[in-house]
Amino acid sequence: MSDIPSNKPYLIRALHQWCTDFGFTPFMAVFVDSSVEVPMEFVKKDEIVLNLSIEACHQLQLENDWISFQARFGGVPRKIMVPVSHVLAIYARENGQGMSFPFDASESKKSKDISPENAEKPKASRPIFTIVK
Amino acid sequence: MSDIPSNKPYLIRALHQWCTDFGFTPFMAVFVDSSVEVPMEFVKKDEIVLNLSIEACHQLQLENDWISFQARFGGVPRKIMVPVSHVLAIYARENGQGMSFPFDASESKKSKDISPENAEKPKASRPIFTIVK
């Protein structure tokens, strides 16, 4: 199963598009370790919630491996880089609808500072099902 | 919650794209009642599984309310029309990865022949989560 390419980035893009089409604000929760480039002063309990709306982000790129953009935090432009493996959820701020993902520690072995405690912090059940007929 | 526009068509399109990009064959399982236009001779236990690959389908349209295309069944071209509400699952034939959806009987009240037995046939847990912080 680990050889199967992840469909997580496709689902993230889909939910971002859904939010955008209906005027919702796409919020993304991220598990933060050293592989994530975000303003650390806004990180709480190893997590940060980012606004992915077109209005808030410049040069937003939702790639298969990385999500990147520029945004202002306290008026200061900052560069954001998030590995898709570290995305915990994407949802509409207005109603909470969206999807959460388990944090896959095995995808993050390159990271330097994942403690076992953090690595065991999946947010919800897997969005990817195997169909059993 | 019922006032929130469904993100199901976005997820279906995302998984179809994922399959296509990686050379998998997108299969779609559909709950069949009178609102679904498919070759009835291939329906088993109120369900049909359709091949949504680019090679198998002509004029494939994955819209927010309807999925439609033309395909050959036994050499005969047929028009397929499926309400998105009746999609039970979309997955890659080669590995079974994808997503299943509950069958939402409330979305199908227009249909003439849904028995309570059929209406109570969700396939798996909801893919749409509400984030609780």
**Looking at this protein, which amino acid is placed at residue A34?**
S
C-alpha distances (whole Å) from B29 to each of B19, B70, B78, B124 are 15, 16, 17, 13
The 8-class DSSP code of residue B121 comes to -
pLDDT at A57: 96
Residue A1: list chain B partners with CB under 8 A. Answer: 95, 97
| DSSP characters over B85-125 | GGEEEEEETTT-EEEE----GGGGTT-S---HHHHT---SS
How confident is the model over B12-58, as pLDDT tens digits? 999 999 999 999 999 999 999 999 999 999 999 999 999 999 999 99
- Is residue B1's pLDDT more than 90? no
pLDDT at A3: 84
Residue B125: list chain A partners with CB under 8 A. Answer: 125, 129
Residues in chain A: 133
Q: Are B108 and B121 in contact (CB under 8 A)?
A: no
B60 touches chain A (CB under 8 A): no
pLDDT at A105: 64
Instruction: Answer whether A14 sits within 8 Å of B18, measured CB to CB.
Output: no
CB pairs under 8 A between A and B: 81
A103 band by pLDDT with thresholds 50, 70 and 90: confident
Q: Are A37 and A80 in contact (CB under 8 A)?
A: yes
How confident is the model over B55-105, as pLDDT tens digits? 999 999 999 999 999 999 989 999 999 999 999 999 999 999 999 998 866
pLDDT at B105: 64
Q: Which two tokens stand for residue A78?
A: 């900052």
Q: Are A24 and A51 in contact (CB under 8 A)?
A: no
How confident is the model over A52-86, as pLDDT tens digits? 999 999 999 999 999 999 999 989 999 999 999 99
Q: Give me the domains of chain A, ranges plus CATH numbers.
A: 8-119 (2.30.30.220)
- Is residue A132's pLDDT more than 80? no
A122 band by pLDDT with thresholds 50, 70 and 90: very low
Instruction: Answer whether A129 sits within 8 Å of B5, measured CB to CB.
Output: no
State the average pLDDT for chain B.
Answer: 84
pLDDT at A52: 98
Task: Compute the nearest-CA separation of A121 from chain B (Å).
Answer: 14
ipTM above 0.85, yes or no: no
Instruction: Answer whether A129 sits within 8 Å of B130, measured CB to CB.
Output: no
Best residue in A27, A131, A132, A133 for a mutation probing chain B (most B CBs within 10 Å): A131
pLDDT at B2: 61
